Amino acid sequence: MLLGSLLLVGGIVLVLWGAERFTDGAIRTATRFGLSTFYVGALVSGFEPENLVTGVTASAERLPQIALGTVIGSAIFLLTGGLGAALLLVPMDVRIPREGIVGMVATLLPFAVVVWNDGVVSRSEGALLVLLAVGVMFWLYRRSPVFLGALKEGGDAPARPSGARAVGLLFVGAAVMVAGAELVVHGVRILLDTVRLSQMFLGMAVVGLGESLEETARMVAPARRGHPELAWGNVVGTVVTLLAFNLGVIALVQPVVVDPLVLRFHAPYLLGCTIFVAVALWWASRLGRPMGSALVALYLLYLGLNLVHMWD
């Protein structure tokens, strides 16, 4: 019990510390290399190496539903639970270039085509998805000078910092957040094992808390520092990475057979949530607790519907 509590508290401290260092690094990197903080957030914060490793491992071991589930489940959580929790804590100005919203939505159509085409995401389709992700990120890079002004709209930005120090802070912060989230997961697992809860509840609580803490910290820390565009960059970059790059690499390792339930429920729910968030970002100038509550409700609804399908 004591060990679990120590791991839980220590993990939370590391996640919060890492989020602050990551924000510092992103702001300094953007300043040093003349990029917008939105693009740095999309490229670095949006990259999901843990998800990619999990999906590739499952694909290599011929567990396609787990591989596909890591992609779709993580994307739904980010757009609903993660973003919703962040907005409940810190309402944010919608400081995001229209190109970012277009890039996120543009990823949906190829994703839908390869998933619904013939029930299999082939290697050739995987290669096209990877090229799509690279193309979208390169397009955002080329457009970065156009919306560079977002960096100058308030917030704290050091003048011409060291490039090595800036990038170092960026990756150290990201690594510490991941390590902290892992400690939280282990701590919660020990605590829940102590009270002998079911494996289903244990899995949902542990995975949900680990992902929630890391994703929410990535968005809350920069928003609190006056750089909400870094948080929005994380949202856009993660969606593009998960639905195009990660799924593409997974399919390159082993073609992914799509379960009928994915076509009937999970994929449509993901598409609906993505479009809902994209429309809100396009029209709103600020998103706060009402939107956060709605997104958290969407995530809870998704969890509830999952339980219903499990019992069918």
pLDDT digit string, tens, across residues 216-273: 788 888 888 888 888 898 899 999 999 999 999 999 999 998 888 888 998 999 999 9
> Which of 93, 98, 105 lies closest to 276, judged by CA?
105
Rounded to whole angstroms, how far apart are CA atoms 208 and 124? 33
Q: Crossing angle of helices 267-283/228-240, nearest 10°?
A: 150
Rounded average pLDDT over 284-291: 94
Q: For position 160, what pLDDT does the model report?
A: 54
For position 281, which CATH number holds? 1.20.1420.30
Q: For position 312, what pLDDT does the model report?
A: 59
Rounded to whole angstroms, how far apart are CA atoms 127 and 249? 7
Q: Which domain holds residue 236?
A: 2-311
Q: For position 129, what pLDDT does the model report?
A: 96
Total-model pTM: 0.79
Residue 311 — very low, low, confident or very high, per pLDDT cuts 50/70/90? low
Domain count, the chain: 1
